[in-house]
Structure 1
Amino acid sequence: MNGHNLLAHKLDKKQITYRMHDNAFLEISDTETAQKLSDRINPEDLHKILDVFAKRYSPVPGSLGLGYTWTVQQIECATDVMFQKPEYLEPLYDEIIRTAIFTVKPDNIATFLGQRITYNCIKEIGTNYNQRILGTRIKHHMGDVSIKMYDKFGHVLRIESTCNDIGTFRVEREVNHQDGSSSVQKAPLKKSIYSLYQLFTIMKSANYRYLEFISSFDDHSSGRKKLAEVSRPQKEKERKYLITALGKEIIAAGLTENNLILVPALTS
């Protein structure tokens, strides 16, 4: 099930305009309503829809008085931050990627994913950085759960958590025992579609924790932009001058086609 297409259908019904490319929303006229529509998960309706498809394309079990149990094994949950122009996202994204590669440690990854590192933990924990045709991506993983960050078409910063076995998450729920009794205790999340609401709450929280973490990074993009401006060569009478501010001194260098002329440093 593709949640982006489902949300697009809901936006159409509400007559909310949007611009979508592939599986990413680049613009939405009413983001607040769109978020509310996205948060509405109704397992009962999903169950009915799946039963209709099962009856239509696989009618044999129904003729025998049998039914289906609908379960969830693998799931992804994405949180998108939309930018109006690519030039707003590009320098910020590059800065975040560089910082995250060297800053995120195993205990941070466990915190993002709502997991714990114990003395007998055997789950592999790590970070991978990939450069793809469409751009770069950083991924942090712990066992069957991971969270990754990448940009979509220069307009969207996407934080996406993935779980290949939803039983990895332990939640407070009613557990039935062999003696017929029951109790409320920590147990693996049930793999039923009726766990979707609780599951999306867990994974959205992971995305928000990651967003909160990267929002604490210092933004050096403006400093690099200013340095590039003061380092831009100036041309006068077929001679180029390169002026760079270092501390309290300004070093000026005059460049011609074949040689370099150093000008004494000027105290600012």
Structure 2
Amino acid sequence: MKSFLQRFGSLVLGVLHGFDRLRLRGSKRLLCNPGGVFSFLAQVQVPLKEYKAYAKETTVALCKAIETEAQQAGLYHYLNNSQESKEETALRLAAEHGRQQGLIAVLGCVEPCQVVQVRGNRETKKLEVRIEPSKCLHYYHYYLDADYGLRYTRLQSWFPFTMHVGLNGRDWLARQMTKAGVDYRQKDNCFTWVEDWEAAQRLLDEQLTTDWASLLDGWAAESHPWLSRLVVPPVPYYWSVQEGEYATDIAFRTPEDLRRLYPRLVQYTTGPLQSTDVLRFFGYRVTKSGAPRRDLAGEVVTTIKELVEGTCVKHRVLQNGLKMYDKFGQVLRLENLLINVRDFKVFRMREGNTDGPMEYLRLRKGVADMHRRAEVGAKINERYAAALATVEDATPLGELARDLGQPTTWKGRSVRALNPLAPADVELLEAINRGEFLLNGFRNRDLRALLFADAASASPEEAKRQSGKVTRLLRLLRAHGVITKVSKTHRYQVSAEGRSKVTALLAARQASTEQLLKAA
């Protein structure tokens, strides 16, 4: 984000980054696997042959309890079409009945789900527990919460009684800012203006310190107080993140500023941006040659859609998504949604070992890793923004490359010119422009591994010679202002000006003669 603001900071009002839409899943883990269900049925002394009658009796009692109370309060509404917007229906019912706070609607709808069934096995001639896809009635409880805004719970009415909770992080932030006395202007789920952006960000960060398990248990009990009495002994919910959209909103001063910039961003993300760049944004490793790993079982897909909010560019890889769109012509939103988190590592203790050492372990879906998920999402958006910072420059290419093509001096010593057409200099520029160097920069040995094929197996004398050559190349790049040294480290980063020049030169090398003539 730093490089993006260095480039376009004069056009930007403020930046907010945090969770947007959250969909959290409550699973009764004992009832989500055949062995656990068998153990539960043994505890309640229900034979497998009587499971269906027992489950049906429990479901009927649950549905009666929910519908009776909701109908008496005038809140219940059954939806014949599962594709109908539940949120819009709930808000419409709230407006019709003048409800402005608390429970505003209870909706019933038949939807697909995973259920527990007991089936006969033809081979063993025995009954067995199975988890299989089916459909059943689901109940949505919608609330207008004074602290969290619009939220809902969704309960599956058949075993294993899975629950989902949905809320909007930006709606939650709006309530926080109102209480804190921070003025703002909001459109849908983004803010076009905030009186104090830093204060708003601090409030947004407070969401990550929430005791999510206790909060969600309280909401579950509020919506369905009968569940603990119907399923005896009570089985607690394990809460995980089903969908968590992490969004970075960059609010521009005027719609005209974003309108001029956005077409170039779209052109860049669907043209020069390569699939391996998208992999690096997500943090997936690639080979030294820049190719994806062979064990990466997936593909990168980029699509463009015209939405009500604006033009949306979406990159998708391994069920995970990264989006960019211009919301209402004034907010540039970068948003990622992580579904498959198996490849992401975070710094934490092992589960169940609170006294153990911290180490890099797999990111969990549970709410215990909510703040770590936010860190991963923030880094993805930062890498994406850093790449976007290299576009939108109306300066002619000749003017950009003019200084690079002239000899200069560095600390009193003459330094040669850079030749963007020479293979050796092109290889150097491509190396420093790699996506994995966007955040943490690069070292001498990082470039040596890229510029010399035998770097890994080189003798000590040859390694010293290669390191010396890379040192001279770094001096060359620093003299031309292409890179800067990170203070108190051995790392270097491409400067904002250098990024513009390098990206433009490399893009020009890939352009056809016809494209160059059209540009002229």
Q: TM-score range by the shorter chain?
A: 0.7 to 0.9
Deviations 1:177-205 (A, max 9, x none): 9xxxx886654311111111000110011
Contact 2:319 2:340 in 1 (8 A): yes
Match of 1:119 among 294, 316, 319: 294
State the Cα RMSD in Å: 2.4
Q: What secondary structure sits across from 2:302 in the alignment? A: strand
Equivalent residue letter for 1:8: A
Matches within 5 A, 1:1-268: 1-42=167-208, 44-63=210-229, 64-116=233-285, 117-175=292-350, 186-220=360-394
CA contact (8 A) 2:310 2:329 kept: no
Deviation at 1:96, TM superposition (A): 1.3
SS in 1 for 2:241: coil
Inter-CA distance 82–62: structure 2 relative to 1 (3 Å threshold): same
Give aligned pairs, total. 218
Paired letter, 2:179:
K
Further displaced range: 51-60 or 70-79: 51-60
Q: Which amino acid is the alignment partner of residue 151 of structure 1?
A: D
Question: Which of 113-122 and 13-22 deviates more?
Answer: 113-122
Note if contact 1:176-1:183 (Cα within 8 Å) is conserved in structure 2: no
Question: Among the aligned pairs, what percent are the same residue?
Answer: 29
Q: CA deviation at 1:109?
A: 0.4
Q: Aligned residue for 2:47?
A: none
- List gaps (5 residues or longer) in structure 2: 1-166, 286-291, 397-520
Range moving further from structure 2, 30-39 or 120-129? 120-129
Alignment correspondent of 1:247: none
Q: After TM superposition, give the deviation of residue 106 of structure 1 in Å.
A: 1.5
- Mapped to 2, the partners of 1:176 and 1:87 lie a distance apart of 50
Mapped partners of 1:161, 1:192: distance in 2: 18
Gaps of 5+ in 1: 224-268
Secondary structure (helix, strand or coil) at the match of 2:393 reads: coil
Choose between structure 1 and 2: higher helix proportion: 2
More strand by share: 1
Distance 1:163 1:172 in 2: 18
Kindly provide the amino acid, as one letter, of the partner of residue 87 in structure 1. E
Distance (Å, rounded) in 2 between the aligned partners of 1:175 and 1:168:
17
- Give the letter aligned to residue 275 of structure 2: P
Find the aligned partners of 2:208 and 2:391 in 1 and give their Cα distance.
37
> Any idea what SS the aligned residue of 2:201 has?
helix
- Measured in 2, the distance between the counterparts of 1:211 and 1:127 equals 17
Quick check: 13-22 or 136-145, which moved more? 136-145
CA distance in 2, matches of 1:196, 1:176: 14
Deviation at 1:24, TM superposition (A): 1.1
Report the CA distance between 1:118 and its aligned residue. 1.4
Are residues 56 and 216 of structure 1, via their aligned partners in 2, closer, same or farther at CA, if it must alter by over 3 Å? same
CA distance in 1, matches of 2:351, 2:252: 48
Provide the C-alpha distance between the structure 2 equivalents of 1:100 and 1:139, rounded to a whole number of angstroms. 9
**Separation in 2, partners of 1:70, 1:43:** 16
Residue type of the alignment partner of 1:208? E
TM-score normalised by structure 1 residue count: 0.74
Cα 1:171–1:46 change in 2 (3 A) is closer
1:164 alignment partner, SS class: coil
2: CA distance, partners of 1:125 / 1:38: 31
In structure 2, relative to structure 1, the CA distance for the partners of 1:132 and 1:184 (3 Å cut) is same
Shift of 1:95: 1.4
Which amino acid in the other structure matches residue 239 of structure 2?
Answer: W
Give me the whole-angstrom Cα distance separating, in 2, the residues matched to 1:44 and 1:150: 29
